[in-house]
Structure 1
Amino acid sequence: MKHYKITLSSDDVPTQWYNINADLPVELPMPKNSEGKDQIASLQKAFTKAGLEQEFSQERYIKIPNEVRELYMKMGRPSPLFRATNLEEYLNTPAKIYYKREDTSPTGSHKLNSAIPQAYFAKKEGVERLTTETGAGQWGTALSLACNLLDLDCTVYMVRVSFDQKPDRKNIMNIYNGNVYASPSENTEIGRQILAENPDHPGSLGVAISEAMEEALANDEVKYTLGSVLNQVMLHQTV
């Protein structure tokens, strides 16, 4: 008999994340800026201490805090595992192919897996507000919900063209108490500079990142978060 779906109980949510940094043949170098100078000082101002520790950690297993694990369960983990039998037949392969259903999350994607711990560690460190960028809106939605769960303010800079094309995404973030701004915006120096040169600028992820980062660097009670690229994000996805 073929098993098309595998479901686990809440007790089966992992208690540790798996850190692939430990599998690398060499230790990760410290970050440098465009001039080749050490950038760790500016990163410490923008990111949480826990986030940076995870970013460069060489430990293979990192404990998931009980509060984060509890929120994972409340948000629907473990998610179901499905067997792709039609794909197996199409490929005519003896391999058994499975895929993880991350779309069952209340935000519709895997991104909540990292938004929750990033918001949790920020709250533990006394941060009052998180800033971030979002393109299509999935990461902004996930962080808005995570901040709502942990009683943090959330500011999202959404690429202007997506902001205009996807009003429903903005509405969902607002429902989760996220404050969403079309980027470039008048909120930041970089946003104002870009709008002065081109009032109809469509925006980009680079611009939105710059705006969110500027806010974090200018305010001691604010930290910046990112939903991709970082090692810590990859770590959180191993749940």
Structure 2
Amino acid sequence: MPGVPRYWYNLTADLPVPLPPLVDPLDEEESRIALLARILPSRVIDEEYTLSRTLRIPEEVRRAYERAGRPTPLLRAEGLERALGVSGRVRIYYKFEGALPTGSHKLNTAIPQVYYAKLDGAVEVVTETGAGQWGLAVSTAAAMLGVKATVFMTRSSHESKKPRRLAMKALGARVVPSPSTETRAGREALRENPGHPGSLGLAITEAVEYTLSGERRRYVPGSVMESVLTHQTVIGLEALEQLPEEPDYMVACVGGGSNFGGFTYPVIGMKLRGEGFEGTRFIAAESRAAPRLTRGDYRYDGLDTGLTLPLARMYTLGRSYVPPPVHAAGLRYHGAAPSLSLLRLLGYVEAVAYSQEEVLEAAAVFARAEGILPAPESAHAVKAVMDIASKAPAGSVIAFNLSGHGYLDIDAYEAIESRLVSGELKARG
């Protein structure tokens, strides 16, 4: 069995065209690029701008990965194949990141970022979270490495995702519903809309503002930034060692892009370098509640609602977009990572969007076939796999990233409770 990789992979080195850089807003006096040095761990900034193809994983981080349960398993979905009626015609594999103690892939970047923050002398890390996977990962990494954590959690999720909120607090984190009264941005949002459900863009603005208001704090981003996607490539690098055959399709859900990039980028890099996988297709599955890659515009936009961070060129619905409070809150971000957006623009990545009900139904089918309940976010990938399997040519191989389990999202399944009880759900594509 392969061990934990010793290097992360940086896709930027292999892109066919240069990645559009982060830029400052034209009408703002203060440089947002310069601001990054005041809020981010210094090594995150170094990784954000490097053109090196591989980045050595610090041994302290590798040991923490091992303690957390890496490498994660790659499994054959034989039960799902039978449920879909494709046994002997299509083979399906999944990388199970839900095996990590936080239940999702997010720990892969939380550990190095908190480690880097501690090296910089920080005693507190600050972040935002939607459904809570990222907040729980940061809380766990902070507990492992001995620093404090403050998490601004979108208000709708703060109310509906009680298990994750309580888990973060049990680990010692302070969890603040966003919009909050602790920041200027939060107070303004509440003044305009007292019932504001929150958004990731606004929670980021609050987290950055709070970071700047105190000493020895560092902000740790959960997705979108290239350094985050680079950390997540431990997923794909392990999968390359574990897969028994070359996949025709690689599938993952997309919020900001970290789990999709982590799973697919090492293979996309090989394809770009002409080292194999010429026929592999890469499918990004997103929520219809925030359909950036399928309906967004490719342009420069703010990474957060309040423009406290630089502008990134990406597929976006607009930084002020407030998506409906669906259960797959991790997919509610308004934009997608610049590298993923560029790959989508150039045609290397395809995208599909699904509604909440159909992905939860797909998740229930997967759970009854494989014995694992997917997170609502990961269920988008499951639905895409089911659709692909129903139409793929005989002999096709599908690999997907099951980026998290759904045992802390069980409230989501109330939406289809009657159909679960009646047994009405069917494995359909």
TM-score by length of 1: 0.89
Give me the whole-angstrom Cα distance separating, in 2, the residues matched to 1:44 and 1:92: 53
Query: In the alignment, is the contact (CA less than 8 A) between 1:186 and 1:192 conserved in 2?
Result: yes
1:124 aligns with 2:119: yes
Distance 1:53 1:94, change over 3 A: farther
Give me the whole-angstrom Cα distance separating, in 2, the residues matched to 1:19 and 1:88: 34
Report the Cα offset of residue 200 of structure 1: 2.4
The equivalent of 1:80 in structure 2 is 73
Report the Cα offset of residue 174 of structure 1: 0.6
The equivalent of 2:339 in structure 1 is none
Structure 1: unaligned runs, 5 residues or longer: 1-7
Report the Cα offset of residue 44 of structure 1: 1.4
The equivalent of 2:61 in structure 1 is 68
1:26 to 6, 10, 17: 17
The equivalent of 1:5 in structure 2 is none
Give me the whole-angstrom Cα distance separating, in 1, the residues matched to 2:155 and 2:91: 43
The equivalent of 2:47 in structure 1 is 54
Query: In the alignment, is the contact (CA less than 8 A) between 1:28 and 1:56 conserved in 2?
Result: no
Report the Cα offset of residue 219 of structure 1: 3.0
Deviation string for 1:74-112 (max 9, x for gaps)?
001111111233556745776654211100111100000
- Is the partner of 2:205 in helix, strand or coil? helix
The equivalent of 1:165 in structure 2 is 160
Structure-to-structure mapping, 1:1-239, within 5 angstroms: 8=1, 12-35=3-26, 39-86=32-79, 90-91=85-86, 96-239=91-234
Question: Which amino acid letter does the alignment assign opposite residue 191 of structure 1?
Answer: G
Give me the whole-angstrom Cα distance separating, in 2, the residues matched to 1:96 and 1:35: 51
TM-score by length of 2: 0.51
Deviation string for 1:44-82 (max 9, x for gaps)?
112111001111211111100000000000001111111
- Is the partner of 2:211 in helix, strand or coil? helix
Give me the whole-angstrom Cα distance separating, in 2, the residues matched to 1:238 and 1:95: 26
Query: In the alignment, is the contact (CA less than 8 A) between 2:211 and 2:218 conserved in 1?
Result: yes
The root-mean-square deviation of aligned C-alpha atoms, in Å, is: 2.0
- Is the partner of 2:19 in helix, strand or coil? coil
Deviation string for 1:16-71 (max 9, x for gaps)?
11111111123434311332776320111121110011112111111000000000
Deviation string for 1:130-185 (max 9, x for gaps)?
11111111100000000111111111000111111111111000111111011111
- Is the partner of 2:153 in helix, strand or coil? strand
- Is the partner of 1:130 in helix, strand or coil? strand
Distance 1:186 1:197, change over 3 A: same
Query: In the alignment, is the contact (CA less than 8 A) between 2:78 and 2:87 conserved in 1?
Result: no
Moved more, 45-54 or 94-103: 94-103
Question: Which amino acid letter does the alignment assign opposite residue 13 of structure 1?
Answer: V
Give me the whole-angstrom Cα distance separating, in 2, the residues matched to 1:169 and 1:13: 27
Equivalent residue pairs, number? 230
Structure 2: unaligned runs, 5 residues or longer: 235-429
Query: In the alignment, is the contact (CA less than 8 A) between 2:24 and 2:33 conserved in 1?
Result: no
Moved more, 116-125 or 96-105: 96-105
Report the Cα offset of residue 197 of structure 1: 2.9
